[in-house]
Structure 1
Amino acid sequence: MPTNLRMLTVAALCCAAANLHAGDAGAIDVSDPYARAVPPGQANSAAFMVLRNTGDSDRALVAAESTAADTVELHTHTMDDGMMQMRRIERIELPAGEAVTLAPGGLHVMLIGLAEQLQPGMDVALTLIFDDGARQSITAPVRRIDAGAMGGHHAH
């Protein structure tokens, strides 16, 4: 086999192996991503979206990354002694054939230690990481969110 052809074959096999390791994020459709605008001095924000698992197997969002914040975590809200509280969670389950909404007052991607104040008109780059190792990069435009949309009193 000629050297050039051998090198191309090795390169193709490496790419195929890398794609297998990276998983298939194609089974997860992301729609309407956005991040919450924050007032001056606010160090934290959140990102929201709809995740639709179009595949035949249950999946899960297990992490997210962004250069917009020092720390990025998956969170939910729970009722504790009559008060809504945010709690970090390890994963967001994505049942096969279903959509899961990340929204104010519920599941969300928490952005802790913002690199800069998030204002409408800006975009936040996020990388979603799924249980099979797949990674999906998205852009979330920054929006103002009415405090009433948060569903009541909150503590972190």
Structure 2
Amino acid sequence: MFTRPRFLATAAVALASAAALAGCASDTASSEASLTVEDPWVKTVESGMSAAFATLTNSTDADLTVVSASSDAAPMIELHEVVDGEMQEKDGGFTVPAGETLTLQPGGYHLMLMGVEEPIAAGDEVAFTLELEDGSTVGFTATAKDFDGANEDYDGESMDMDHSSDAEASMDAESSH
């Protein structure tokens, strides 16, 4: 038989259980959100390759490693570093030491967007997801900015991926010898 006091007691137990579970969920969420992303931005591009930058802050007492990144803006994103003026994939990902920050910046560590097909224009907001070594993820949105600096090489080629004039010049130089 349905009685209001029994129903209220059952409802109170259910609510208390849900609250306790919600508390556990928020603890998990806060540990996953222990890496914060500050001042994110992405370089404008018509198509081809671009790069994203930010400051990553680790608020835990253990090192955190970013192992991959994704975005709808590019079918592939690699974690890169610049060594002797040339970009290369960063083996092992980006480690953010416990209680410290890691800056992703032109001429250093960065997220390399590859195969961009749609223009990223100044002022666009681009969503990214970082995956950490423990499987947790951190999402952020970066604002697109015009940027002409850094000009690092990628496997000896310029970042704009328009090498037809370079190839033609090279072929002309070879044929003149």
TM-score with structure 1 length normalisation? Answer: 0.77
Match among 20, 26, 35 for residue 33 of structure 2 = 26
Tell me by how many angstroms 1:77 deviates. Answer: 1.8
2:78·2:89 contact (CA, 8 Å) conserved in 1?
no
1:22·1:133 contact (CA, 8 Å) conserved in 2?
no
> Secondary structure of 1:24's partner?
helix
Unmatched tracts of structure 1, length 5 or more: none
Greater RCO structure (CA 8 Å; 6+ sep): 1
| Matched residue type, 1:25 | E
TM-score with structure 2 length normalisation? Answer: 0.69
1:92 aligns to 2:112 (yes or no):
no
More helix by share: 2
Separation (CA, whole Å) in 1 of partners of 2:147 and 2:28:
38
Separation (CA, whole Å) in 1 of partners of 2:57 and 2:37:
6
Number of residue pairs aligned between Structure 1 and Structure 2: 149
| Matched residue type, 1:133 | G
Identity %: 35
Residues 92, 67 of structure 1: alpha-carbon distance in 2 compared, 3 angstrom cutoff = same
User: Runs of 4+ in structure 1 displaced over 6 angstroms?
Assistant: 1-23
1:71·1:113 contact (CA, 8 Å) conserved in 2?
yes
Q: Name 1:118's counterpart in structure 2.
A: 120
> Secondary structure of 2:33's partner?
helix
Q: Name 1:63's counterpart in structure 2.
A: 68
CA deviation digits over 1:7-49, x for unaligned, max 9?
Answer: 77887788778778778232112101011111x3x31111111
Larger Rg: 2
Unmatched tracts of structure 2, length 5 or more: 1-5, 158-177
